[in-house]
Amino acid sequence: MSHLKAPRHTPGALRKAFLAMSGDPRNFPGASGSHTCFQDAVRTLNTLQTNANYLEMVKRKRGDPQTQLEAMKLYLARSGLQVEDLDQLNIIHITGTKGKGSTCAFTERILRSYGLKTGFFSSPHLVQVRERIRINGQPISSELFTKHFWRLYHRLEETKDDSSCVSMPGYFRFLTLMAFHVFLQEKVDLAVLEVGIGGAYDCTNIIRKPVVCGITSLGIDHTGLLGDTMEKIAWQKGGIFKSGVPAFTVLQPDEPLAVLRDRAQQISCPLYLCPPLQALEEGGPPLTLGLEGEHQRSNAALALQVARCWLQQKGYQDAGELKASRPSLPGQLPLAPVFQPTPRMQQGLRHTEWPGRTQLLRRGPLTWYLDGAHTTSSMQACVRWFRQALHRCERPDSGSEVRVLLFNSTGDRDSAALLKLLQPCQFDYAIFCPNLAEMASTDNADQQNFTVTLDQVLLRCLAHQQHWSRLHEEQVSPDPWSTPGQEQDGPASLLLAPHPPHTHSASSLVFSCISHALQWITQGRDPLFQPPSPPRGLLAHPVADSGATVLQEAAAIHVLVTGSLHLVGGVLKLLEPSLSQ
């Protein structure tokens, strides 16, 4: 396994190096729509990523975050728009720690079922960067992405000041600006904006007048940017509140909920607490959700309130009949209304799709469980979903079942804590690899990442493997997922289906890329994933060699892919080639 380092350049040097290799981007036929031209746009966009070493320097010298928000307004002006122009987009602004993407997806799909033309800006992307900007639920075309990319890039190039250190926006800022331009040009009826990180100082927060805001479940994440307590994180998330703009949140722990309440009161933002989905189902049929997992019910409850509020603010009559209201307790947030979801709302929830979150793919003897959980709270929800799905699946009449974990974790996340939550799932093999689809690819611009070196990601994978081995040695600790007093076959049980022990339990391997990991896991048995012959030496390890035989003979192979949305995206890129078209 070779350890290679990415070239050490500042973002400016990266851009110059790219232009030297590729020629001036003005020479590219930006509106021609060819796949090559789209890839050129993506490669140029990637030069706006912050190089790993430069990123560390920026973290150490981070200035006033309010100044960063003001800089975003300047970029917007240089791009040809004023903040006031964004009022036309009828924005729904969503933040939170877990479930914000799923909540946005539910909300967008509900409102699309009313015949509205929707825009949806989200992050990160799984396979192609154009997934981040959607019209009517579909990623914008390569042609539209290319056209808008070069138009914005040239405009910013023409107005930049070389003496300024903020001559070009970074990757996420650029895409946020581009989304605003696309949504205005395409004349959407509304835009659903998912916050990138935090809220108060996120670059999406330059908007002045959203129609409604929402905050999903809070947890610990991005502590280096947002703070290391739930209260600090809640303060950041509450930064999206606007005076007079209705906002909704789901049930939170008392301390962060109090912070949200205080933030809202300080600026006269009406903040409401969403009743559970069960309250909206009373007296009617149970609601069917397009996304699996019990935790999606909280996201759906928030999406229904946000969508209903938007419809009411815009004068729509068919927004759900009110049921008997529940009184709020003194000192607590007022409860959002309990209403009967309309048929169009029910249709929206039922047809919501959001790849990479509680997603199942059944392929021959393999079942892939894909979930980009990357915080302790979202990993708990992922494990519940995975165990319940295993409990429901049919057992093979004969032959063995094998459980495989494919894991990676990035940034400042506590990977040891995530792995500890996964350990009671009784995996036969734990596989670790970087979020790199293939070791060498000339057509993989969408998944390039300059913010870390290859050395760093491989060393991190080895650290994950060491954590996993230590957890196996400490198996004397009780299973935190088992519930005392419940029978294994009880309807509420989260216990695993019977799984006889194997002599190879807790075996682990590190691969240098996702493709090599999938080649070993599938052993040629996935009917759609048929890569070239594995490279020489891929099986030159006792665990890999013996495990290959086990996987070849297994009647069923269950693979959970989790820990990082970027990892899930790399897996989907290889398992579903159509997503790259």
Q: Residue 217 gets which letter from DSSP?
A: B
Written as one letter, the residue type at 401 is E
Distance between CA 225 and CA 266 in Å, rounded?
A: 23
Which parts of 23-122 fold into alpha helices (H)? 35-46, 52-60, 65-78, 100-112
The structure tokens listed for 418 are 């995530």
Please choose, from the candidates 80, 9, 82, the residue with its C-alpha nearest in 3D space to the C-alpha of residue 48: 9
Tell me the β-bridge partners of 405.
430, 560
Q: Three-class SS of residue 349?
A: helix
Q: Three-class SS of residue 140?
A: coil
Distance between CA 515 and CA 436 in Å, rounded?
A: 8
Residue 357 marked ligand-binding: yes
Please choose, from the candidates 232, 178, 241, 229, the residue with its C-alpha nearest in 3D space to the C-alpha of residue 205: 241
Distance between CA 231 and CA 580 in Å, rounded?
A: 40
Beta carbons of 456 and 52 less than 8 angstroms apart: yes
The angle, 0 to 180 degrees and rounded to 10, between the axes of the packed helices 35-46 and 11-22 is: 150
Phi–psi pair at 103, nearest 5 degrees:
-60, -45
Tell me the β-bridge partners of 298.
none
Bond into 334 cis (ω within 30)? no
Distance between CA 106 and CA 116 in Å, rounded?
A: 14
Residue 123 marked ligand-binding: yes
Beta carbons of 374 and 564 less than 8 angstroms apart: yes
Q: Is the dihedral of CA 282, 284, 285, 289 positive or negative?
A: negative
Beta carbons of 158 and 128 less than 8 angstroms apart: no
Distance of CA 314 to the CA centre of its chain: 29
Distance of CA 548 to the CA centre of its chain: 32
Beta carbons of 37 and 1 less than 8 angstroms apart: no
Please choose, from the candidates 145, 155, 175, 150, the residue with its C-alpha nearest in 3D space to the C-alpha of residue 26: 150
Sequential DSSP letters for 358-377: SEEEEETTEEEEE----SHH
**Residue 225: other Cβ atoms inside 10 A:** 17
Sequential DSSP letters for 403-472: EEEEE---TT--HHHHHHHHGGG--SEEEE--S-S-SS-SS-GGG---SS-HHHHHHHHHHHHHHHHHHH
Residue 222 marked ligand-binding: yes
Residue 281 marked ligand-binding: no
Please choose, from the candidates 316, 358, 275, 355, the residue with its C-alpha nearest in 3D space to the C-alpha of residue 113: 316
Please choose, from the candidates 415, 391, 417, 411, the residue with its C-alpha nearest in 3D space to the C-alpha of residue 486: 391
Q: Three-class SS of residue 503?
A: coil
**Annotated binding residues for Mg(2+):** 123, 194, 222
What residues are designated binding site? 123, 194, 222, 357, 371
Binding positions for ATP are 357, 371
